[in-house]
């Protein structure tokens, strides 16, 4: 058996052979190996450096009193930093795993997106968690910034989780059972330390002392910097960081204060970083050697095959471009495909190169474009372009004006004399008359050109310009991509286009699956790509990989009599985390099923990317589906089960701790948690929710004042819990469970979860009466509160999800058919905020009403109505959102009666044309002359009462039928009566009669907003 200390020795031996200096862990408390000066300081500046060391690390908040087999506050990291990061750093890492005893063919090794950040150090990097059979065993990062400075060259950092690797090698389930050497276990040495330090960190430490320490360390670090003592100054940065961690573990720093403390440590770290680089520069950067590596031999267009250069436009071939990289984040694969396709299409269109179609494919290690039927040459083209009039292009003296010079620049031609153009000396320029004026004309010729030449010139920049959410640099190169580039295939038919990016030359060699077929292979022609890739265990088509997984999930549902949960969410990720997906069913201890279902699902879905399995009765099975990226094996199944168990155990332990805490204790802690600096604490928010809830209860007459008061009081009770600290996405869910555990009214308990609904687009709405009231109160509180302090959602930023809050309110109102007076609610809610925070009450009220109008226009479209129907129905405002919604739906139904609607719309247009800009006067029945106008007046009088009653009953379908009955009377009026009579009084009276019709229309809709083709 490989002991813990032998594991360390093997890593030391491996990295010694790679030329890495073996250093020691630093003699201060640090949270991670990155804090060690060998990484933080040495990654700064241009000097190369490589080191490895074991770092004893302390994270006070991770303590579990020795009860969690996989979670401790003191542990060991094996840290490797290499600067500049070597091109084969991934291969070196995988080789190191083999060196310590792993047969990688037996394990599912996964590089899973995890961009690393240390806010206290002002450091960040891009990279992965490395998973072995579902358990994170290493953090692999390419540093991009450190101490607030952009890094060049880039440092590659590998942080091994030594305890987790030892668990695998020794096949034990608890850190404390790891064999340290032949006689001692990890627990023999550290178990008691874990119990006592956890107790100290959470319960016994002196807050007063650690607050003072933080102040002293910050002060001393600044003092050291004043004296030019950079390295001692950094020691005090580490000390200040640990003091902050101790205070954080005690929960004595609020959310707002926490941000401030982190900023103070980061400020110190950034000052140290600048001073360190300056100090090394003053020393002449002593580690930079004078030796210069030979430059890479550059390719030129002369390296293209003659057949490509001399190709004719009539000949077509398929073009293959495969961009091979280290593992892309799952979400980047589809994004990369979309953006690469757009860039290639734009290039070919701009260059007028014909092609049939572009097909896109992607896996974690490659993004591929196949241009089918691409012309091998760009045909010659002629184009005539008209310029400005001669009198505009030249002045009286025949000299070019700015407009004339601009035309010559646009056609990329040297300016010419007017006389030369007139005399025909400029063969590509002429003057012709058009519409009575002389104009300049240019005959532009574009010579045909080899497509391969164009691709050779443009592809390097095109690839580097593919958009991704984030890009990174690596090694000492001046290029950026989503992850380090490893290979490029560029085949046009059977010919290579050998362009270069960084230190990579495009070739015909692709690579197979990283574990199943980890070697390169040559493609003779572009058409060989798909079958050869599949022969090397890679499915390049995203859709095909999804289909493979979905088909296997369907089979598992049948064979296990269950429903697979979170299909869409997990499928989207795992399809782009694998190149050859295989499914395995794993299981966990059924005792964990007493943990709330949401906790188990969160662990499986969010953290492990597993598919949970549910029984027909809606309860969870103690089984889950693993998506492996290699051949399934018992070892992979067992590894994933062992990876999940500690997470579930942690969830169970946290839940057991939380349910023992009284709800009143949780509520008391809300007083020290800041909601928002101007809006007070979370406790202040719950006090407002009580008032909001009672206001809404009175207006809607649902639930009871007592229930809404209790629900609002408990609404945030889970926020201070240990479970929510670990799983913030479970807010509300856990509050419900805690309330039920303490025998609260079930509807009150349900409302704690329901008030977060809808949790996303298309999410479930609250169902209980109290939950509905609390959900509305929560959303109105956010909208009104942030408006009062001047925080708004903009087109580019909505950090407080204010749009989602408004969408939720509108959906709840429509779903429950509530007639809720919006302005009354907004004004009432505003009174529940202290006037001291107001930035302008009337302005906020107006902004909120406009905000709701915009959201209403969007939400209504989800109900199968058209945009113009929504716009037309908003003429009466939206103070009663459900009432406005009913008007829209009634209009939509009436519009479906094409004959009635079309005829009514036609007479509306005629009436609108007749009224024009006429001034309106009072209507007088005595001035009616013609039978048709008297008939219309009579109909309006008879129908007024039933129309008004229909409006009062919100019976808008009936109201539309009543106004449609006006149509024949209006049509008759236009056919028989001259509206614009020569008699001014009669004309004015007829206009007033039409206005009465318009006023009736306007009570339902603004016909002017309707679009009829």
Q: What are the sequence ranges of the domains in the chain? A: 4-204, 301-378+450-536, 381-446, 542-660, 663-862, 886-1009
Residue 604: per-residue pLDDT = 95
- CB 430, CB 422: distance < 8 Å: no
The dotted CATH code for 301-378+450-536 is 3.30.70.260
- Distance, in Å, from the CA atom of 724 to the CA atom of 728, rounded to the nearest integer, reads 5
Residue 900: per-residue pLDDT = 85
- Distance, in Å, from the CA atom of 784 to the CA atom of 177, rounded to the nearest integer, reads 55
- Mean pLDDT in consecutive groups of 10 residues from the start of the chain, 1013 residues: 97 97 96 96 97 97 89 96 96 97 93 93 95 95 96 97 94 94 97 96 95 97 97 98 94 78 95 97 90 71 87 94 97 97 96 95 98 93 87 89 90 88 87 89 86 96 96 95 97 96 96 95 96 97 97 97 96 96 96 92 93 96 97 94 89 90 95 86 96 97 97 96 89 96 97 95 94 97 93 81 94 96 95 85 89 93 92 87 93 87 82 70 88 92 93 91 89 87 88 87 85 77
- Distance, in Å, from the CA atom of 588 to the CA atom of 600, rounded to the nearest integer, reads 11
- CB 391, CB 462: distance < 8 Å: no
- Distance, in Å, from the CA atom of 240 to the CA atom of 318, rounded to the nearest integer, reads 61
Among 900, 862, 860, 898, residue whose Cα is nearest residue 878: 860
- Distance, in Å, from the CA atom of 511 to the CA atom of 487, rounded to the nearest integer, reads 8
Residue 178, C-beta contacts closer than 8 angstroms, at least 6 positions apart: 4, 163, 166, 167, 170, 172, 185, 186, 187
- CB 23, CB 53: distance < 8 Å: yes
Q: E strands, 484-610, where?
A: 485-492, 495-496, 500-501, 504-505, 509-511, 520-522, 563-564, 582-587
Among 735, 815, 840, 829, residue whose Cα is nearest residue 779: 829
Residue 90: per-residue pLDDT = 96
pTM for the whole thing? Answer: 0.81
What are residue 159's DSSP bridge partners? 79, 139
What stretch of H or E contains 126?
strand 123-132
Q: Which residue has the tokens 């607050």?
A: 211
What are residue 1008's DSSP bridge partners? none
CA torsion sign, 253 to 257 to 262 to 268? negative
Residue 292: per-residue pLDDT = 57
Q: Which residue has the tokens 């016994």?
A: 204
Question: Quick one: fold of 886-1009?
Answer: Isoleucyl-tRNA Synthetase; Domain 1 (1.10.730)
**Residue 823 burial by CB count (10 A; 0-12/13-18/19+): exposed, middle or buried?**
middle
What are residue 857's DSSP bridge partners? none
- Distance, in Å, from the CA atom of 75 to the CA atom of 32, rounded to the nearest integer, reads 9
Rounded to the nearest 10°, the torsion over CA 867, 870, 871, 876 is 180
- Distance, in Å, from the CA atom of 305 to the CA atom of 312, rounded to the nearest integer, reads 14
The domain 4-204 having CATH identifier 2.30.130.10: the answer here is no
- Distance, in Å, from the CA atom of 915 to the CA atom of 948, rounded to the nearest integer, reads 25
Q: Which residue has the tokens 């790679």?
A: 18
Residue 192: per-residue pLDDT = 97
- Distance, in Å, from the CA atom of 997 to the CA atom of 908, rounded to the nearest integer, reads 9
Tokens of 55: 């770092």
- Distance, in Å, from the CA atom of 143 to the CA atom of 646, rounded to the nearest integer, reads 30
The domain 663-862 having CATH identifier 1.10.3470: the answer here is no
Residue 367, SS3 per DSSP: strand
Residue 916: per-residue pLDDT = 64
- CB 800, CB 846: distance < 8 Å: no
Residue 385: per-residue pLDDT = 87
């Amino acid at each position: 058996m490989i002991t813990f200390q032998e594991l360390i020795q093997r890593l030391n031996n491996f990295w010694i052979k790679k030329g890495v200096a073996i250093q020691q862990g630093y003699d201060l408390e640090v949270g991670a190996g990155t804090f060690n000066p060998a990484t933080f300081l040495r990654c700064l500046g241009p000097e190369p450096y490589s080191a490895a060391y074991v770092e004893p690390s302390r994270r006070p908040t991770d303590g579990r009193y020795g009860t969690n087999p996989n979670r401790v506050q003191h542990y060991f990291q094996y840290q490797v930093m290499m600067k500049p990061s070597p091109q084969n750093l991934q291969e070196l890492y995988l080789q190191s795993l083999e060196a310590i005893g792993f047969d990688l063919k037996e394990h599912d090794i996964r590089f899973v997106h995890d961009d690393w950040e240390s806010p206290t150090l002002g450091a960040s990097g891009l990279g992965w968690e490395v998973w072995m059979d579902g358990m994170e065993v290493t953090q692999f990062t390419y540093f991009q910034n450190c101490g607030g400075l952009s890094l060049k060259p880039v440092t590659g950092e590998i942080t091994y989780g030594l305890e987790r690797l030892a668990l695998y090698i020794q096949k034990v389930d608890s850190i404390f059972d790891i064999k340290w050497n032949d006689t001692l276990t990890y627990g023999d040495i550290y178990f008691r330390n874990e119990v006592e330090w956890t107790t100290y960190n959470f319960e016994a430490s002196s807050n007063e002392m650690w607050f003072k320490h933080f102040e002293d360390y910050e002060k001393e670090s600044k003092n050291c910097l004043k004296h030019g003592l950079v390295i001692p100054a950094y020691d005090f940065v580490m000390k200040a960081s640990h003091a902050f961690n101790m205070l954080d573990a005690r929960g004595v720093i609020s959310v707002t204060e926490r941000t401030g403390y982190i900023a103070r440590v980061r400020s110190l770290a950034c000052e140290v970083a600048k001073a360190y680089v300056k100090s090394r520069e003053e020393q002449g950067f002593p580690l930079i050697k004078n030796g210069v590596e030979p430059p890479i031999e550059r390719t030129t267009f002369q390296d293209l095959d003659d057949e490509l250069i001399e190709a004719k436009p009539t000949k077509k071939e398929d073009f293959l471009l495969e961009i091979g990289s280290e593992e892309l984040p799952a979400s980047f694969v589809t994004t990369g495909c979309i953006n690469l396709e757009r860039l290639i299409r734009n290039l070919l269109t701009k260059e007028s190169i014909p092609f049939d179609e572009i097909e896109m494919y992607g896996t974690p290690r490659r993004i591929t474009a196949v241009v089918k039927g691409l012309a091998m040459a760009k045909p010659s083209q002629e184009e005539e372009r008209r310029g400005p009039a001669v009198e505009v292009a030249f002045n009286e003296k025949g000299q070019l004006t700015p407009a004339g010079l601009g035309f010559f620049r646009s056609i990329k031609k040297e300016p010419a004399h007017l006389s030369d153009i007139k005399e025909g000396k400029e063969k590509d320029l002429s003057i012709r008359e058009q519409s009575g004026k002389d104009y300049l004309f240019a005959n532009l010729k574009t010579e045909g050109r080899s497509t391969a030449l164009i691709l050779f010139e443009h592809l390097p920049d095109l690839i580097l310009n593919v958009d991704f959410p984030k890009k990174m640099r690596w090694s000492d190169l001046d290029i950026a991509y989503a992850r380090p580039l490893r290979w490029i295939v560029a085949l046009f038919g059977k010919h290579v286009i050998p362009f270069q990016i960084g230190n990579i030359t495009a070739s015909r060699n692709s690579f197979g699956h990283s574990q199943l077929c980890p070697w390169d292979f040559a493609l003779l022609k572009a058409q060989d790509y798909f079958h050869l890739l599949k022969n090397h265990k890679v499915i390049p088509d995203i859709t095909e990989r999804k289909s493979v997984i979905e088909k296997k999930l369907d089979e598992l549902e049948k064979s296990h009599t269950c429903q697979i949960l979170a299909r869409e969410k997990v499928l989207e990720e795992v399809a782009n985390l694998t190149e050859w997906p295989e499914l395995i069913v794993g299981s966990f201890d059924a005792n964990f099923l007493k943990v709330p279902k949401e906790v188990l699902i969160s662990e499986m879905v969010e953290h492990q990317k597993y598919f949970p399995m549910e029984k027909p009765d809606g309860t969870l099975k103690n089984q889950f589906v693993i998506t492996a990226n290699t051949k399934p094996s018992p070892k992979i199944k067992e590894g994933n089960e062992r990876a999940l168990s500690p997470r579930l155990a942690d969830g169970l332990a946290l839940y057991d701790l939380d349910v023992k805490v009284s709800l009143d204790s949780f509520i008391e802690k809300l007083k020290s948690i800041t909601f928002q600096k101007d809006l007070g604490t979370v406790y202040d928010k719950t006090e407002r929710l009580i008032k909001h809830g009672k206001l809404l209860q009175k207006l809607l007459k649902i639930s009871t004042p007592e229930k809404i008061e209790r629900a609002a009081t408990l609404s945030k009770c889970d926020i201070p819990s240990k479970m929510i600290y670990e799983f913030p996405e479970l807010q509300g869910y856990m509050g419900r469970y805690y309330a039920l555990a303490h025998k609260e009214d079930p509807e009150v308990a349900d409302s704690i979860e329901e008030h977060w609904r809808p949790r996303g687009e298309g999410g479930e709405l609250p169902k209980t009466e109290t939950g509905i009231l609390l959900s509305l109160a929560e959303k109105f509180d956010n909208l009104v509160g942030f408006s009062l302090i001047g925080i708004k959602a903009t087109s580019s930023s909505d950090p407080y999800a204010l749009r989602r809050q408004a969408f939720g309110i509108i959906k709840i109102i429509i779903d429950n058919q509530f007639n809720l007076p919006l302005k009354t609610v907004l004004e009432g809610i505003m009174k529940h905020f202290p006037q001291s925070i107001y930035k302008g009450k009337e302005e906020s009220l107006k902004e909120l009403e406009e905000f709701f109008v915009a959201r209403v226009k969007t939400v209504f479209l989800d109900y199968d109505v058209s945009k113009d129907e929504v716009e037309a129905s908003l003429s009466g405002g939206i103070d009663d959102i459900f009432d406005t919604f009913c008007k829209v739906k009634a209009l939509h139904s009436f519009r479906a009666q094409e004959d009635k609607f079309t005829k009514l719309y036609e007479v509306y247009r005629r009436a609108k044309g007749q009224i024009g800009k006429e001034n309106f006067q009072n209507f007088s029945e005595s001035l009616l002359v013609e039978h048709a106008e008297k008939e219309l007046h009579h109909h309006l009088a008879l129908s007024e009462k039933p129309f008004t009653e229909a409006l009062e009953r919100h019976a808008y379908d009936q109201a539309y039928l009543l106004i449609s009955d006006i149509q024949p009377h209006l049509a008759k009026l236009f056919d028989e009566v001259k509206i614009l009579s020569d008699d001014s009084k009669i004309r004015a009276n007829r206009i007033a009669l039409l206005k009465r019709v318009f006023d009736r229309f306007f009570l339902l809709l603004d016909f002017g907003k309707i679009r009829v083709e």
